[in-house]
Structure 1
Amino acid sequence: MRIIKFIPIKSAFLVILFITISCGEKTEVVNESQSDSQHPSLILTKKGVEEIRAQLGTVPLFDSSLAETKKIVDAEIELGIDVPVPKDYSGGYTHQVHKKNFLILQKAGVLYQILDDEKYAKYVKDMLMQYEEMYKTLPLHPKTRSYARGKLFWQCLNDANWLVYVSQAYDCVYNYLSEEERNKLETNLFRPFADHISIDSPQFYQRVHNHSTWGNAAVGMIGLVMGDEELIDRALYGIKDLKLDTKEKDDDGGFLNKDGKAGFLANIEEPFSPDGYYNEGPYYQRYAMYPFLIFAEALHNVKPALKIFEYKEGVLLKSINALLNLSDADGEFFPLNDGQKGMSYYTSALVTAVDISYHFGTQDPGLLTIAAEQNKVLLDDSGLAVAIGVKNGKAKPFEKKSINLSDGPEGKQGGVAILRNEDIELVFKYAAQGSSHGHYDKLSYSLYEKGDEVIQDYGLARFVNIEQKGGGNYLKENKTWAKQTIAHNTVTQNETSHFNGKYDIGSQHHSILNYFSFENENVQVASAKESNAYPGTAMLRTMAIIKDEDFEKPYLLDIMKVTSNKVNKYDFPYYFLGQVLQTNFEYKTPKTLNTLGSENGYQHLYLEGTAKAASENSKLSWLNEGKFYTLTSLTNNNDELLFTRIGANDPEFNLRREAAFMLRRKDTKNTLFVSTIEAHGSYSPVTESAVNSKSSIKELKLVLDTADYTAIEITNINGNTKLFITANINASKEAKHILTINNKNYTWVGSYYYE
């Protein structure tokens, strides 16, 4: 719902609104727009520049950031200006040059304001004039693969990147340029540029997606600099009276919103949950945070009446805390949905996020510690505030605790639970589809120890900005492998992906939280249900991180309950990383490798080993990154145990050759998968010593499984037994339970019992 409206303004003249206050004859004058003399006003402000200049040489983190920026820009000025005719995909020469140019332009503009050195303004002007000369004759980019082609770049998305950064440069040199020069740039470059990525490309602009957020910010920021209220309105609310085809274009989400929601405010309202979780996942939240926050900062400075940082109960600032919590011990974001591994809060977008969050939010001292680790700040008011806070010793550790982040605009479309205990982190995904970047992985999980993957999520199939690999874009294996259910640590039924791998079906559904409990630091639990992934089948997964004095480290207990109206074949994989050490079952390895199946991701799995479960507990131990791990699974004599490896039907070696252990259960209607994963011991290649290399679990036993409850006994090697009971239906924190197991009564209040 739109709660803010602007008065349409067609010129850049100062608009004064006179608001008469009822008490007495006093009149308050509110300046609702910016005059030419008030530049810079987007990210840097006149007052902020004065404060920065006054502090130079006294704030180490800011000074070092400024010195590094100056070094980079001075080197580029020495090399001269290069504005090549566009022709390449991502990673190609022209793509990289134009990308570098917009980054350098923004930096040069900032240096002009802070250092008051005309050489930077002249550099910005000269390059902008070269772009003006070229742009007015540019056709669409010659590469035709994108659903929305740009002119400087192969896709409108990158054109929008360019304008977001260049708007800041233009703001910084606005008063340096003559009126004639400004008119030339605005008439031949900036307005046509804004029109192309919006009016000419509605399939890119007119929707809710991270691509559109960049487009909205680009149009809005150049509109703020030029004082063009029509562009600002277009940025905030989308293109008015648009009547075009709404047919889906491609997997990147290149389609118009059928419900008509578009614009910057819609892109805040729809993808973010009240907790700040972004439905596309942390990798794309990281990417979108820059336009979200940099445009928000500009709106805050130029349009303070909008109160953008209070919009939707301040969700933009909340989202930064959520995003930081979606990172592992090393600061790398969990690769939920399409996500490249290794992306972390050291990226420049998170420097922006941390600084703006600190300056415009609650001034959380934990953010200062992250800023210090990033070792750079924005060269603006927010960066100065952070640098001063670090200098004054206000930094405190940023604490990552167990957290449950809801999904959906109202927080009612599932979510992501993160359980943390000592060095163990469990990421449990029970979210909605995640827009076009979502995967078919309901109730999947990944497991970490000290930032190292123990049980991995594959992430995306893409070599970002590496031209040799598909022009740096998504590879076909992203659809045929990475998105498919079998690529994830969850149940695949009848070798078919959830929702049959169909976006239009998956986007209609989400999982439902059964309960989340983290109050007891020794037993933290997340439980969720999925009833739509397979018609007629319901899945309930309960995952607990348990710290027990009989174990060296906290361990994972995993209970997946499956009920169906027909007999099925179930595959349950564990994508472990490391070297197999030992099993308690005998397996056979084939002389010739064959694929596990022919479609839905199975065509990419080699079958490397097979076995039949020989006992009620099947064990697999492995070594990774100098640490030992053991998987213990409840099995029966009909279960097949499979070793698989990614890489089949991949002649260009686009996929990583990584292993999985898979439990296959055939001709089964209702079933239960129960397992534990222990982290234990260590190995030093220097001393060549192995410490605590064996499992501490003697037996895993199912003692009760009904519609209401599931109870598991865990017995350690010393003979001590603990019982975990989870409530499958009535799982509220206030619920009272009375249960008899083997003639013994158990009474408790809450979602689970453990003793």
Structure 2
Amino acid sequence: MAVCFSQGSDYYSDAASDQEHPNLILTKEGVKQIRAHLGSIPLFDETLEKVKAEIDAEISQGIDTPVPEDYSGGYTHERHKRNFLVIQKAGVLYQILNDEKYAKYVKDMLMQYEALYKTLPQHPKTRSYARGKLFWQCLNDANWLVYVSQAYDCVYNYLSEEERYKLESNLFRPFADYISIGNPQFFNRVHNHSTWGNAAVGMIGLVMNDDDLIHRALYGIKNINLDKTAKDDDGGFINKDGKAGFLANIEEPFSPDGYYTEGPYYQRYAMYPFLIFAQSLQNKKPELEIFNYKNGVLLKAVQTLLNLTDADGEFFPLNDAQKGMSYYSRELVTAVDIAYHNSDDAAGFLSIAKEQGQVLLDDSGFSVALSIKKGKEKPYQKTSINLTDGPKGDQGGVAILRQGDLELVFKYTAQGSSHGHYDKLSFSLFEKGDEIIQDYGLARFVNIEQKGGGNYLKENSSWAKQSIAHNTVIQNEISHFNADYEKGSKHHSDLHYFYVENDNVKVVSAKEINAYPETEMLRTMAILNGEDYEKPFMLDIMKINSTSANQYDLPFYYFGQILQTSFEYKTPEILKPLGNENGYQHLYLEASAKRDADYSKFSWFNNNTFYILTIVTNSNDEFLFTRIGANDPEFNLRRDPALILRRKNCTNTTFVSAIESHGSYSPVSESAWNSKSNIKNLKVVLDTEDYTGISITNVKGNTTFFITANTNAAKDATHNITINDIGYKWTGPYYYK
């Protein structure tokens, strides 16, 4: 019978669960099966051999547990981080190979930490809102305990009762108490930091069979008075509604679709503690049915994460995100293996695991490797998808349109907690895993000590989070919500429609009404396919209604070399910042131009491919050629370019543009193919409260029309309108023909 997850449920009263070890990520039965199949499961055996070589090398070098003194990237930080990764692997090697040298290594390292920890004050670096002891922040201390708990579980029965008592009394319980009761501002929150803390306390509690620690991990600390206005080091506020603990961290940040509100980069980071603790609970407390909690959202979240990757498996850089992070990371190896192990129909996970080229050395990794050996894998299919945001799925979302080699990522989410950026209705565009139109990501050199101790740089707030750093409309050079975290956290964009049933048309449309006072923005983005075009292309319609006249900027952060423009531009003799604040102070103005036609073209070249932006222009429009890097004396920002369309003194206006990818260039034969635009003319033929119609004429003279319903976008809604004496009738949110 399933156990209720309600706050205060006292399911521990039946007390002593079986103290067989291991029982977290490895089980006694799992170890038995693994040992029986050693040498016959290729992927598992290959992983085991690599890990064995790695740990044997570490053992030969001896154990170093230095007195902590560094930020991220410094020697002591990296050594303790390396230690917790190594000790976990040594523990599983002991169980699988039954070789005492690995158990002794784990024991010796644990005893060194026992001797060290009881002498440690708070870490000497003071930047964090919650300082650790081994590390500069409690977050990393929690990382340590999550991994070390697994090692302790593996050698539990190898140690004597006296040795276990010594470790638990002087190291593990004090450690768990310090990162929880000692730092409630870290532990009692809804945030990826707290998820690590909850998992750390819960996992060591499971090994020690400590019901108080397990309950604390699941439900948080009760009767703790927190400063509701206190900010963490990321600028986020402590949870104000009293919810805390592992279950609250599943309930609140995840939408029913498995989207994590902080964005895929931090979802990837948080999935390790979510799934490793969940697997431990499943093995030790199966009556909790943890993988069924919130309709199985943890397993859905793995599917969601995989869909939030480009063709190369790299996560789309929404909000704070380091580019290049991918499903080859150790967190996603863990996520894929555990998700497969606990899912009924997940053969697609096996193809990802095969690409990853490694598995966990535990029950779930063995399950994956055995299934791959049996040939059960199927290709993992990434499709166009709309992912809701918010605990109930009613706080905006992220849509991904996939057509051919193009992937369009459209963000209309909630704020995204303290890692969120101020960029409603923004987009980025990819082709074969390469960025065509980029999102900047975060301003941080993760774990590179020379750059701010490996932590967030001040430019993360002054540039990366500001709206001008993204491909969305900025009004009067002010960021959305004036870059105010509390205001931004109260609002989200709303989906107008998402329609991908047609093979030739993939469309998403969303509305934002709170980013600026008395201003509404409706953005409709489509990937269109037509027989007269070499490849699918992107169409973008941004409709703005305001009660006052404003200046609007629409940037396009492209990569590559400018080839040609349909307008003449002027370059200044001296580079100056484009503005004074809200991110504009970080943009150099390299050139500018006035609009000289009803539509304009801008072409560039990147990765031996040609790209062209065609954009409808009004009489007062300006083009601004900019480059990131102004007011950046320490060179913390990348020097990336952008083209900005500026429109002044407008109340209601509509931006319409198209982006084509076409042709190719061979450096070997020095030949270019299809280097010119296929679009001859782009025109707004109708723009009312209810409809916006666009005509697209190609170089062959053939014209197609795309009409979007701005108000009634129901799938069964019928529309009948006239444009230039021609009638258009259709059912659904858009017309394309």
Q: Same fold (TM over 0.5)?
A: yes
- SS of the equivalent of 1:297 reads helix
- For residue 542 of structure 1, the aligned residue among 508, 519, 524 is 524
- For residue 691 of structure 1, the aligned residue among 655, 666, 673 is 673
Give the superposition deviation at 1:33. 4.6
Give the superposition deviation at 1:198. 0.6
Deviations 1:394-420 (A, max 9, x none): 122111100000000000000000000
1:670 aligns with 2:649: no
Which amino acid in 1 is paired with 2:402? R
User: Runs in 1 of length 4+ with deviation above 6 angstroms?
Assistant: none
- SS of the equivalent of 2:212 reads helix
- For residue 379 of structure 1, the aligned residue among 340, 355, 361 is 361
Aligned pairs for 1:572-587 (under 5 A) are 572-587=554-569
- For residue 242 of structure 1, the aligned residue among 217, 224, 241 is 224
Q: Per the alignment, do residues 410 and 175 of structure 1 end up closer, same or farther by CA in structure 2, a change over 3 Å counting?
A: same
- For residue 6 of structure 2, the aligned residue among 3, 8, 11 is 3
- For residue 35 of structure 1, the aligned residue among 4, 18, 26 is 18
Which amino acid in 2 is paired with 1:175? N
Contact kept? 2:237, 2:418, Cα under 8 Å? no
Deviations 1:131-176 (A, max 9, x none): 0011011000000000100000000000000000000000000000
1:658 aligns with 2:640: yes
1:161 maps to what in 2? 143
CA distance in 1, matches of 2:344, 2:677: 45
Contact kept? 2:561, 2:605, Cα under 8 Å? yes
Q: Per the alignment, do residues 222 and 149 of structure 1 end up closer, same or farther by CA in structure 2, a change over 3 Å counting?
A: same
Which amino acid in 2 is paired with 1:7? D
CA distance in 1, matches of 2:138, 2:347: 38
Deviations 1:323-367 (A, max 9, x none): 000000000000000000000000010000110111101342211
Contact kept? 1:251, 1:436, Cα under 8 Å? no
1:279 maps to what in 2? 261
CA distance in 2, matches of 1:667, 1:535: 16
Which amino acid in 2 is paired with 1:484? Q
2:250 maps to what in 1? 268
Q: Which runs of 5+ in 2 are unaligned?
A: none
Which amino acid in 1 is paired with 2:125? K
- For residue 746 of structure 1, the aligned residue among 728, 731, 735 is 728
CA distance in 2, matches of 1:733, 1:616: 33
Give the superposition deviation at 1:686. 1.4
1:368 maps to what in 2? 350
1:488 maps to what in 2? 470
- For residue 511 of structure 1, the aligned residue among 486, 490, 493 is 493
1:26 maps to what in 2? none
CA distance in 2, matches of 1:166, 1:351: 19
Contact kept? 2:131, 2:138, Cα under 8 Å? yes
CA distance in 2, matches of 1:700, 1:547: 16
Q: TM-score, normalised by structure 1?
A: 0.96
CA distance in 1, matches of 2:211, 2:430: 49
- SS of the equivalent of 1:532 reads coil
Give the superposition deviation at 1:105. 0.6
Q: Per the alignment, do residues 351 and 544 of structure 1 end up closer, same or farther by CA in structure 2, a change over 3 Å counting?
A: same
CA distance in 1, matches of 2:651, 2:707: 23
CA distance in 1, matches of 2:235, 2:223: 21
Which amino acid in 1 is paired with 2:332? L
1:419 aligns with 2:422: no
Give the superposition deviation at 1:630. 0.3
Contact kept? 1:33, 1:302, Cα under 8 Å? no
Contact kept? 2:685, 2:694, Cα under 8 Å? yes
Contact kept? 1:203, 1:254, Cα under 8 Å? no
- For residue 92 of structure 1, the aligned residue among 46, 64, 74 is 74
Contact kept? 1:148, 1:254, Cα under 8 Å? no
CA distance in 2, matches of 1:254, 1:723: 46
Contact kept? 1:355, 1:386, Cα under 8 Å? yes
Contact kept? 1:277, 1:405, Cα under 8 Å? yes
1:399 maps to what in 2? 381
Matched length: 734
Contact kept? 2:7, 2:219, Cα under 8 Å? no
1:612 aligns with 2:594: yes
Aligned pairs for 1:151-190 (under 5 A) are 151-190=133-172
Contact kept? 2:612, 2:659, Cα under 8 Å? yes
CA distance in 2, matches of 1:527, 1:33: 55
- For residue 620 of structure 2, the aligned residue among 638, 651, 665 is 638
Give the superposition deviation at 1:744. 1.6
1:29 maps to what in 2? none
Aligned pairs for 1:281-300 (under 5 A) are 281-300=263-282
CA distance in 2, matches of 1:248, 1:403: 37
Aligned pairs for 1:215-230 (under 5 A) are 215-230=197-212
Give the superposition deviation at 1:204. 0.7
1:24 maps to what in 2? none
Which amino acid in 1 is paired with 2:131? R
1:106 aligns with 2:88: yes
Contact kept? 1:553, 1:680, Cα under 8 Å? yes
CA distance in 1, matches of 2:36, 2:203: 28
- SS of the equivalent of 2:32 reads helix
CA distance in 2, matches of 1:201, 1:89: 19
CA distance in 2, matches of 1:334, 1:488: 14
CA distance in 2, matches of 1:247, 1:621: 49
Which amino acid in 2 is paired with 1:359? H
Which amino acid in 2 is paired with 1:746? Y
- For residue 461 of structure 1, the aligned residue among 436, 443, 448 is 443
Which amino acid in 1 is paired with 2:257? D
Which amino acid in 2 is paired with 1:130? Q
CA distance in 2, matches of 1:275, 1:469: 36
Which amino acid in 2 is paired with 1:337? N
Which amino acid in 1 is paired with 2:681? E
Mean Cα deviation higher: 361-370 or 86-95: 361-370
- For residue 40 of structure 2, the aligned residue among 43, 55, 58 is 58
1:432 aligns with 2:435: no
1:592 aligns with 2:574: yes
Which amino acid in 1 is paired with 2:668? V
CA distance in 2, matches of 1:404, 1:181: 53
CA distance in 1, matches of 2:648, 2:22: 67
- For residue 347 of structure 1, the aligned residue among 311, 329, 352 is 329
Q: TM-score, normalised by structure 2?
A: 0.99
1:131 maps to what in 2? 113
CA distance in 1, matches of 2:419, 2:314: 19
Give the superposition deviation at 1:540. 0.1
Q: Per the alignment, do residues 496 and 255 of structure 1 end up closer, same or farther by CA in structure 2, a change over 3 Å counting?
A: closer
Give the superposition deviation at 1:256. 2.7
Give the superposition deviation at 1:3. 3.2
CA distance in 1, matches of 2:18, 2:353: 34
Contact kept? 2:590, 2:627, Cα under 8 Å? yes
Give the superposition deviation at 1:688. 1.0
- For residue 542 of structure 2, the aligned residue among 538, 560, 564 is 560
Contact kept? 1:585, 1:613, Cα under 8 Å? yes
CA distance in 1, matches of 2:533, 2:344: 40
Give the superposition deviation at 1:303. 0.5
Contact kept? 2:128, 2:233, Cα under 8 Å? no
CA distance in 1, matches of 2:364, 2:18: 23
Contact kept? 2:665, 2:671, Cα under 8 Å? yes
- SS of the equivalent of 1:580 reads strand
1:83 aligns with 2:65: yes
CA distance in 2, matches of 1:82, 1:137: 16
Give the superposition deviation at 1:35. 3.2
Deviations 1:71-125 (A, max 9, x none): 1110000000100000000000000000000001100000000000111111101
Deviations 1:412-438 (A, max 9, x none): 000000000010000000000000000
1:602 maps to what in 2? 584
Give the superposition deviation at 1:4. 7.0
CA distance in 2, matches of 1:249, 1:532: 24
Give the superposition deviation at 1:250. 3.6
